């Protein structure tokens, strides 16, 4: 079960290149979408140099509009896997549909369930049957109990490797930021559950200039990791360029994160 009542110690998830949970801190970073093999490799090299051990990127993209770029599918998974292997990093990618669970499992080290699928119970049950970690992003309108119950759907199938993620929720104002990062969710979740709790300030902010301050707030609140989007040419990014940090900005963020972690 996800409750601390049944499992007082922090769960620590070990992947090939990362330790996630407890006192460990994990940087997951990379492009929003896998654009090409060369691009994901280049972005991976940049984030690894700044301390990331998990390379993110979407091959199946949950776009608000059906006419927007939907991702490169299996070709994207292949390019992502090749880059992660070449760089000795773990791979995390979003799974959108129950029918693709086996396909994505052939490539990825860590599944990602996005905010729009947090209560896709069929998908959660299918992931419960796998023995790979799952990053479960909080639904944009989900309460903390909704998130914990969603995690429970995965646990119920026997998969205990869950990483909870605060990625911003809908509040009154989405004019200046895309979502509102709920910093309070981080210590609250950590008091209720033994699973690692990490944050995505990129999707919370929606605007690159606010990503660093929000990420630092999450770290100060105790987040055990960050997921961050980067792009070397944000204006031409296939998806969500407005919120992407450049590789240089990511280096600065990671230095500031290390500074905060040294004093908390």
Binding site for ligand PEP (CB under 6 A): 32, 58, 62, 94, 114-115, 137, 167, 200, 203
- Residue 203 has which token pair? 């999707």
What is the chain's alpha carbon radius of gyration, rounded to the nearest angstrom? 17
| Longest Cα–Cα distance in the chain | 48
Q: Between 71 and 247, whose beta carbon lies closer to ligand PEP?
A: 71
Strand pairing category for 90-94 and 110-113: parallel
Report the nearest approach of ligand PEP to the CB of residue 94 (Å).
6
Q: Between 9 and 173, whose beta carbon lies closer to ligand PEP?
A: 173
Report the nearest approach of ligand PEP to the CB of residue 178 (Å).
9
Cα 58 from Cα 77, distance rounded (Å)? 8
Report the nearest approach of ligand PEP to the CB of residue 183 (Å).
16
Report the nearest approach of ligand PEP to the CB of residue 229 (Å).
7
User: CA neighbours within 13 Å on the CB side: how many for 77?
Assistant: 18
Q: Between 4 and 98, whose beta carbon lies closer to ligand PEP?
A: 98
59, exposed or middle or buried, with CB in 10 Å at 0-12, 13-18, 19+? Answer: buried
Is residue 225 within 8 A of residue 20, CB to CB? The reply is: yes
Report the nearest approach of ligand PEP to the CB of residue 203 (Å).
4
Report the nearest approach of ligand PEP to the CB of residue 205 (Å).
12
Q: Between 6 and 176, whose beta carbon lies closer to ligand PEP?
A: 176
First CA to last CA distance, the chain? 29
How far CA 202 is from CA of 33, 182, 209, 231, in Å, comes to 13, 13, 10, 12
Cα 147 from Cα 153, distance rounded (Å)? 10
Q: Between 114 and 247, whose beta carbon lies closer to ligand PEP?
A: 114
Q: Between 108 and 115, whose beta carbon lies closer to ligand PEP?
A: 115
Residue number of the CB closest to ligand PEP reads: 114
Q: Between 7 and 36, whose beta carbon lies closer to ligand PEP?
A: 36
Residue 230 DSSP label: B
Report the nearest approach of ligand PEP to the CB of residue 6 (Å).
28
């Amino acid at each position: 079960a996800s409750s601390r009542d049944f499992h007082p110690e922090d769960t620590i998830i070990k992947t090939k290149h990362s330790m996630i949970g407890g006192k460990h801190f994990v940087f997951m970073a990379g492009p929003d979408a896998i654009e090409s093999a060369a691009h994901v490799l280049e972005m991976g090299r940049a984030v690894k140099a700044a301390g990331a051990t998990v390379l993110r990127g979407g091959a199946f993209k949950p776009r608000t509009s059906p006419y927007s770029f939907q991702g490169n599918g299996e070709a994207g998974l292949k390019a992502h896997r090749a880059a992660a292997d070449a760089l000795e990093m773990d791979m995390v990618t979003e799974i959108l549909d129950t029918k693709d669970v086996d396909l994505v499992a052939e490539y990825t080290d860590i599944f990602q369930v996005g905010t729009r699928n947090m209560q896709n119970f069929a998908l959660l049950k299918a992931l419960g049957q796998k023995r790979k970690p799952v990053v479960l992003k909080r639904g944009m309108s989900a309460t903390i109990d909704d998130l914990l119950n969603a995690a429970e759907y995965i646990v119920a199938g026997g998969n205990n490797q869950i990483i909870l993620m605060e990625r911003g929720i809908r509040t009154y104002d989405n004019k200046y930021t895309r979502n509102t990062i709920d910093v309070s969710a981080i210590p609250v979740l950590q008091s209720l559950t033994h699973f690692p709790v990490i944050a995505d300030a990129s999707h919370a902010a929606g605007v690159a200039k606010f990503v660093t301050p929000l990420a630092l707030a999450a770290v100060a609140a105790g987040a055990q990791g960050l997921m961050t989007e980067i792009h070397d040419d944000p204006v031409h990014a296939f998806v969500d360029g407005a919120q992407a940090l450049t590789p240089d900005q990511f280096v600065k963020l990671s230095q500031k994160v290390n500074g905060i972690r040294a004093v908390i």
